[in-house]
Structures are given as structure tokens and as C-alpha cells.
Amino acid sequence: MRAYLLLLLLAAGTTYLATPIARRVAERAGAMTAVRDRDVHSVPTPRLGGLAMLAGVVVAFAAASGMPFLDNLFLDNRAPWAVLGAAAIVSLLGVADDVWGLDPLTKLAGQVLAAGLMAWQGVQLYSLPWGGGLIVGSAGLFLAVTVLAVVVGINAVNFVDGLDGLAAGVVGIGGAAFFIYSYLFTRTVNEENYANLGSLTVAVLVGVCLGFLPHNAHPARIFMGDSGSMLIGLLLAASAVSVTGQVDPAVIGQISGAQVAPVFLPVLLPIAVLLLPLTDLVWAVVRRVLAGQSPFAADKLHLHHRLLSLGHTHGRAVLVLWLWTAVVAFGAISLAFVPLELALPGWGAALVIAGLVTLGPARRRARTHGPVLLRQRGGGAPPETAPGTEAASDRVRRPSRPRPPAEPQRSTGAQPQGRSAPTGGPPPRV
């Protein structure tokens, strides 16, 4: 545990110190996010924060390779270096997109390349726990499933990166829950050696998110850009794939009852962690396809935009999505390590609280504006007035005092205005 915490702090410190450098590089390279109609920031902002996050990942992995506790992961095993190489590929791909702009198909090809590199070097699914057993298929089939899972995870995080601090906070909170699960699960299946690639990867992931958040919190001084969102999405997917690969077929047949939950969580927990991003991703694709648009078209109908329309401020909308991530992720792992009679009621109460917090502005708006709208439609009682006052509509206009009669004009010998000379005809029209 101490080794993982040390790597977490090392990744956080490196990312924090490297972020100002990445900001200056972005300003000189012209990698600035302009203010668009669908954006919520008000000034152009640099967007190469992923470079600082990549620096934190590289330093942490290099340090881990020299630790006695973790050095066995790097001996005669190319999987950790494959994760690091794939992280570099997607991050540099994001840099190219942030600076020059890439079409969606080019980015998708780069994501498939990075995911394929990891799967080729051993970071892939070999089986899936299901129905009290394991689904085992051909190596080619599970390689394709691994690539698909990694690409979906990358784009899910990329979709949720729409508010200051949102993506880093959501992935950091979900990663913390996943680290707790992977560490405890590793101790369950292997009591002699707690070191595993999944725990290492997710610890480093949480570290880079924590190191970047002080610079990315509202109002953000720098955005992570695609170079950062694709990086942390890949790391989260890689850790999930690594932990899932630890499931031993012999373990499935020896456990029953509540002990089954930890075995199935490698599959379910990543979905729980990315529930909000995945929901946003799926709904956005369906919405755009039904509207006859490209699935990659931009709009202002993401979850964070809907929270803003409910009346949440920028910072409060981010906190609401953080809250939902924490409730779903930590509630899921509680099912594995807490008795169900305690875990389920606690999780239900947390969900209710999160729902009330989410709908808070709408409820306040209904209490404030509901009576006004009702009165405007003629369906409500008139408002109460304070003693000595009366509503404007109930006031009776007092009759004004009669004006004194005008004094008769004295004749001066001049012809009255509007009359012609005495010719006998009618006066001319004016």
C-alpha cells in the first residue's frame, strides 16, 4: 500500500509542477480553446494539460520499475511498458488534435492502434466471469473485445470533459474506488504478493488527476484537452482489463454466495465508474443519429449542460457529477466487502440524497415562481398585503379637483386665429 501511495504522490507532484510548463507550450503553439456557443468558458484557454499528465505517468512508471515491491512486474514482462507506450500514443495524438485538429476517423485509428498495442503485449481480456462460470473464447475474439472496451472507455471520458475540473474529478474519484477494490481483491486471490499492474496503473491515474485539478478547477487556467482526456480514459480502461485478467477459473468454482461479487466486479465496476460518461456517450450518439447528424457532431445537450439549465452554477454542476460518481462507484464496491443488509440500504440512501441535490434548483424555482405563474393564469388567490397597503389593482382612483374656469380673453381688435378675412365665406381648413 505504501508503494502505491508513494507513486500516487509522485505522479501528482510531477503533474502539478509540469502543468505551468504545458500551459506556456500551449500558448506558444496556439493550442487555445476559443469561446464557442456550446462552451461555458468566457475567455480563450490553453488546452495541452495532457502533456503534464503524461509526464506524471512516465515519471511514476519509471520509479515503479526500480521499486523492490513492484520490480517483478517489469522483469520479463512487457505489459507495463505497453501501457506506457499506449498512453504516449493517445496523448501525442491528442496533442496533434489540440494544435492542428484531426478528423474523427484519424483519432479513432490512433485509439485502435494504442489499444491494440496493449492487447498484443498481454494487457487483454482472456475470459469474462458470467453466470457462475467463465466465458472463454478464442484469442482473436478477446483481443477484439479488449480493443473495443479500451476505445469505448477513451471516448466516454472524452465526452464528459465539458466543465472545469469535471473529467479529472470524475476519473479521479472513480479511480480511487477502483484502486480500493483492486488492492483488496488482489489480497484475496494472492496473499503472498499484492503487486499487480491494475493497482499500479490506477494509482498513477489518481495521482495525475489530483495533480492537474488545482490548475483545472473553475475558473480553469488550462484544459487537459484531448491529450489528457484520452490519456486518463486509456489508463482507466487498462487498469480494468488488467484486474479482470487476474480472475482464475479455479476460483470461480470454489466460491459462492456473497463472495461471488468481488469476482464479477472487475467487469461491473468500470461500468459503474464510467456510468455517467457512458450514459452521456450513448445518449449523445442516439440523439444525433436520430436527428440525422454525425455521432461526432457537437451540441449543448450533454449532462453538464442539462445541469446548468436546471439552475446549477458551474462549480455546483461539477460537484453534483462528482457526487454521483462517488455514490455509484463506492456503492458498487461496498457490495463486495460489506454485508448486503448494510450495503444496500446505505447505497439507497446515498442515491436519494444525490437525487435531491441534483433537483434542488428546480425545486426552489418551483416554490419561487409557481405562485407567480398561477396568479398570471388567474388560478390563484391574490397575494396578501401588509396592513395599511393595498395592491395596485385594488386601488380606487380619487376624483381630481375641478379646475377653475378659464378667464375670458379680452378683445384686442385682432382677428381670432383660424378665421379668414370677412369675405362671407367659411374659414379655411388648417
Q: Average pLDDT, stretch 347-368? A: 80
Residue 134: beta bridge partners?
Answer: 129
pLDDT: which is higher, 430 or 352: 352
- pLDDT above 90 for 92: yes
**Which long-range contacts does 82-85 make (Cβ < 8 Å, 24+ apart)?**
82/117, 82/118, 82/120, 82/121, 82/122, 82/123, 83/118, 83/123, 83/197, 83/201, 83/235, 83/238, 84/57, 84/58, 85/114, 85/117
Least confident of 140-154, 175-189, 247-261: 247-261
pLDDT band at 291 (very low <50, low <70, confident <90, very high): confident
Residue 342 lies in a domain: no
**Residue 428 falls within a domain, yes or no?**
no
Q: Residue 345: is its pLDDT beyond 50?
A: yes
In whole numbers, what is the pLDDT of the chain averaged over residues?
Answer: 78
Q: Tell me, what amino acid is at 372?
A: V
pLDDT at 109 over 80: yes
pTM given for the model:
0.77
Distance (Å, whole) CA 319 – CA 323: 6
- What does the pLDDT average to over 330-349? 86
- At 280, which helix (H) or strand (E)? helix 275-290
Q: Is the pLDDT of residue 279 over 70?
A: yes
Q: Please write the tens of the pLDDT for every residue from 363-380.
A: 666 666 555 444 555 555
* Residue 423 confidence class, pLDDT cut points 50, 70, 90: very low
- Strongest mean pLDDT among 30-34, 219-223, 273-277: 219-223
pLDDT > 90? residue 417: no
> pLDDT at position 101, please?
87
pLDDT attached to residue 293: 74
Cβ–Cβ < 8 Å for 47, 26:
yes
Which pLDDT tens digit goes with each residue over 7-35? 999 999 999 999 999 999 999 998 887 76
Give me the residues paired with residue 33 across strands. 45
Three cell numbers at 64?
A: 515503479
- pLDDT-derived band at 418, boundaries 50, 70, 90: very low
Looking at 122-175, which runs of residues are DSSP E strands? 127-130, 133-136
Q: Is residue 312 part of a domain?
A: no
In a domain, 283, yes or no: no
**288 vs 364, residue with greater confidence:** 288
On whether residue 179 sits in a domain, the answer given is: yes
Instruction: Please report which confidence band the pLDDT of residue 300 belongs to, taking 50, 70 and 90 as the band edges.
Output: low
What is the DSSP-derived secondary structure letter of residue 258?
A: G
Q: Are strands 32-33 and 45-46 parallel, antiparallel or unpaired?
A: antiparallel
Residue 414 pLDDT: 47
Q: Provide the residue range defining the domain that includes 205.
A: 2-250+258-273
For the purposes of burial, counting CB atoms within 10 Å of the CB of 123, is it exposed (0-12), middle (13-18) or buried (19 or more)? buried
Average pLDDT over residues 111-117: 95
**For residue 397, what pLDDT band results from cuts at 50, 70 and 90?**
very low
Residue indicated by cell numbers 437525487: 355
**Residue 219, preceding peptide bond in cis (omega within 30° of 0):** yes
Q: How many structural domains is the chain composed of? A: 1
**Structural domain includes residue 240:** yes
Amino acid 58: pLDDT = 97
416: pLDDT strictly greater than 60? no
* Mean pLDDT confidence for 178-205: 83
361: Cβ–Cβ under 8 A, 6 or more apart, which residues? 310, 311, 312
pLDDT over 50 (residue 52): yes
What pLDDT is recorded for position 129? 60
Task: Return the bridge partners of 153, or none.
Answer: none
Confidence of residue 316 (pLDDT cuts 50, 70, 90): confident
State how far the alpha carbon of 69 is from the alpha carbons of 7, 66, 186, 398, in Å.
12, 9, 14, 93
Do the domain assignments include residue 106?
yes
Evaluate whether residue 100 is within a structural domain.
yes
Q: Say if residue 326's pLDDT is above 60.
A: yes
| pLDDT tens string 156-178 | 888 777 778 888 999 999 899 98
Q: Which helix (H) or strand (E) holds 209?
A: helix 197-216
54-86 in b/e form (b: 16+ CB < 10 A) is: bbbbbbbbebbeebebbeebbeeeebbebbbeb
What pLDDT sits at residue 283? 77
